[in-house]
């Protein structure tokens, strides 16, 4: 009996990955077809697709915003879509694969270098490579940020041996946290490179990221090093295909790493200073905007975070907050986190206050959104937004903007990029920050609840 194969993966590997898995399984059950779904989540690959799984299949659905080694499926019918389509369009994807509408993925399978799908636009490929770097970098950001934040519990100068506040435990936490932070850019660059050029590109990407740190080029330098390394190795592999197979080991272990590291090293040494100037200018502009016009900045951040709920626009705001956090700016992340936490809380509060406007299934899902919101999982609002995006998204953007604006106005500092209310012990003004988020969430919940009441009345009138 034929089956469908699916792979899901999102940059953070927390919400979209498993929401897409659930939606695809539900759609497959409805269509009466067997499905196996591999998830590429934060804890690694689960339910991995094996060679034997690819026998007698309708095709493969890849719903991912990160590198999931798609070259495994070259020569097979493959649908490659953003992970959000796996959540919202699961029925349509299953139907397309079963109807034979999935295109054959081109290219020869390769274990040494990544391949680029002809089914994807260049801009989407760039986004996936960038998000592959972000997804591998985030654990370092979270670990480093939280440990540094905990060191402040003994005092802001508790890690300084010259200060009266000095504490050995605080100093140790600061040292460990700073080491985790220091490796972020090299990891970021290495996995961008790996996503493009496979494992041979990792060395050049990592060294390029280290040089970005040394020269002060920061994340902007890391992005350049990652993409330059990836495409350089990809190009070299293509040009060296004429070499006999017995030289494959020599090529991947000796030739490619040395040539790649040398070229990228020279590039980053020469470009480091001008990139650092651009990087510093960008950071200063954002920091200045935060001080000069926190209302405008809060509105922009709020609208971005609630525009696509974990998608590219949301991630742009989130990554910017992460970059500034690495530069020591903890104010910006407070607004970003507040804006990301708000949408699921809007749903949760609305389903509590306006119970009659929601059915039993929605109220149950709404209750779960309290947990999702409190743990910074914006994607929890997606099932509700998907039912009427043109009406609900503006409400969510309004609510998130209020939360972000208030966070900026009260100058709250959040030293960790994820965790929601779990990181309250290290937030500078935890009660104020929670209040800012609740004000925005309550405002959005009232608007969303009233909208649902109006829709319910409209349906009642039409039925009568």
pLDDT attached to residue 445: 96
pLDDT attached to residue 49: 92
Could you read off the pLDDT of 303-347 as tens digits, one per residue?
Answer: 988 887 766 677 777 777 877 776 677 888 899 999 999 999 999
Instruction: Give 240-243's long-range contacts (Cβ < 8 A, gap of 24+).
Output: none
What average pLDDT does range 13-41 have in this prediction?
A: 88
pLDDT beyond 60 at 8: yes
pLDDT class of 427 with cuts at 50, 70, 90: confident
Give the residue among 356, 311, 322 at the shortest CA–CA distance from 450. Answer: 356
Catalytic residue annotation = 10
Instruction: Give how far Cα 306 sits from Cα of 140, 376, 386, Å.
Output: 25, 13, 13
Q: How buried is 391 (Cβ within 10 angstroms: 0-12 exposed, 13-18 middle, 19+ buried)?
A: middle
What average pLDDT does range 184-201 have in this prediction?
A: 90
At 372, list the tokens: 């999702």
Which has more confidence, 115 or 332?
332
Q: 49-63, 91-105, 251-265, 311-325 — which is least confidently predicted?
A: 311-325
How far is 70 from 64, CA to CA, in rounded Å? 10
pLDDT class of 119 with cuts at 50, 70, 90: low
pLDDT attached to residue 113: 45
Give the residue among 342, 325, 344, 341 at the shortest CA–CA distance from 417. Answer: 325
Instruction: Give how far Cα 193 sits from Cα of 82, 114, 187, 234, Å.
Output: 21, 10, 10, 9
At 365, list the tokens: 């899902």
Give the residue among 81, 112, 41 at the shortest CA–CA distance from 377. Answer: 41
pLDDT beyond 70 at 207: yes
At 184, list the tokens: 């972020």
Mean pLDDT of the chain: 85
pLDDT attached to residue 129: 87
Residue % of the chain over a pLDDT of 70? 92
pLDDT class of 21 with cuts at 50, 70, 90: very high
pLDDT class of 401 with cuts at 50, 70, 90: very high
Domains of the chain: 3-98 (3.40.50.2300), 122-279 (no CATH), 293-463 (no CATH)
- As a whole number of Å, the CA-based R_g of the chain is 24
Q: Is 0.85 surpassed by the pTM of this model? A: no
Q: How buried is 297 (Cβ within 10 angstroms: 0-12 exposed, 13-18 middle, 19+ buried)?
A: buried
Which has more confidence, 394 or 155?
394
What average pLDDT does range 261-280 have in this prediction?
A: 88
pLDDT attached to residue 228: 95
pLDDT beyond 60 at 118: no
Instruction: Give 206-212's long-range contacts (Cβ < 8 A, gap of 24+).
Output: 207/261, 207/264, 207/265, 208/264, 208/265, 208/267, 208/268, 209/185, 210/185, 210/186, 211/264, 211/265, 211/268, 211/269, 211/272, 212/185, 212/186, 212/268, 212/272, 212/275
pLDDT attached to residue 388: 82
Could you read off the pLDDT of 232-247 as tens digits, one per residue?
Answer: 999 998 888 887 777 7
How distant is the alpha carbon of residue 50 from its chain centre? 26
Instruction: Give how far Cα 204 sits from Cα of 66, 191, 199, Å.
Output: 20, 11, 10
């Amino acid at each position: 009996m034929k089956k469908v194969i699916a792979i899901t993966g999102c940059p953070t590997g927390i919400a979209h990955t498993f929401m897409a898995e659930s939606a695809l399984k539900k759609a497959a059950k409805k269509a009466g077809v067997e499905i196996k779904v591999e998830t590429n989540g934060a804890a690694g690959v689960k339910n991995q697709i094996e060679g034997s799984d690819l026998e007698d299949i309708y095709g493969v659905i890849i719903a991912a915003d990160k590198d999931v080694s798609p070259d495994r499926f070259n020569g097979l019918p493959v649908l490659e879509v953003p992970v959000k389509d796996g959540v919202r369009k699961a029925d349509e994807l299953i139907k397309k694969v079963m109807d034979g509408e999935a295109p054959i993925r081109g290219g020869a399978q390769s274990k040494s270098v990544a391949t680029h799908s002809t089914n994807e636009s260049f801009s989407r490929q760039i986004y996936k490579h960038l998000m592959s770097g972000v997804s591998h970098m985030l654990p370092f950001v979270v670990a480093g940020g939280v440990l540094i934040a905990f060191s402040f519990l003994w005092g802001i100068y508790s890690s300084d041996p010259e200060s009266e506040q000095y504490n050995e435990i605080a100093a140790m936490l600061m040292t460990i946290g700073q080491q985790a932070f220091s490796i972020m850019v090299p990891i970021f660059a290495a996995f961008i490179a790996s996503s493009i050029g496979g494992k041979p590109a990792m060395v050049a990407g990592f060294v390029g990221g280290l040089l970005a740190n040394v020269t002060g080029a920061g994340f902007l330098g890391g992005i350049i090093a990652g993409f330059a390394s990836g495409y350089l190795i990809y190009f070299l592999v293509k040009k060296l295909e004429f070499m006999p197979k017995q030289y494959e080991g020599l090529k991947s272990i000796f030739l490619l790493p040395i040539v790649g590291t040398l070229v990228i090293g020279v590039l980053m040494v020469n470009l480091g200073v001008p990139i650092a100037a651009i990087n510093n200018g960008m950071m200063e502009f954002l920091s200045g905007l935060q001080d000069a016009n926190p209302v405008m900045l809060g509105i922009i951040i709020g609208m971005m975070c609630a525009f696509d709920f974990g998608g590219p626009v949301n991630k742009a705001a989130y990554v910017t907050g992460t970059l500034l956090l690495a530069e020591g700016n903890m104010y910006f992340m407070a607004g970003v986190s507040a804006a990301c936490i708000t949408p699921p809380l809007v749903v949760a509060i609305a389903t509590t206050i306006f119970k009659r406007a929601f059915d039993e299934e929605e109220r149950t899902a709404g209750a779960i959104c309290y947990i999702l919101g409190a743990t910074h999982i914006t994607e929890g609002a997606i099932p509700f937004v998907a039912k009427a995006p043109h009406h609900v998204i503006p409400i969510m953007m309004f609510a998130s903007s209020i939360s972000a604006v208030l966070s900026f106005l009260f100058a709250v500092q959040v030293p960790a990029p994820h965790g929601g209310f779990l990181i309250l012990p290290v937030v500078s003004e935890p009660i104020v920050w929670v209040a800012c988020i609740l004000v925005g969430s309550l405002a959005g919940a009232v608007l969303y609840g009233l909208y649902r009441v109006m829709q319910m009345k409209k349906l009642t009138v039409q039925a009568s």
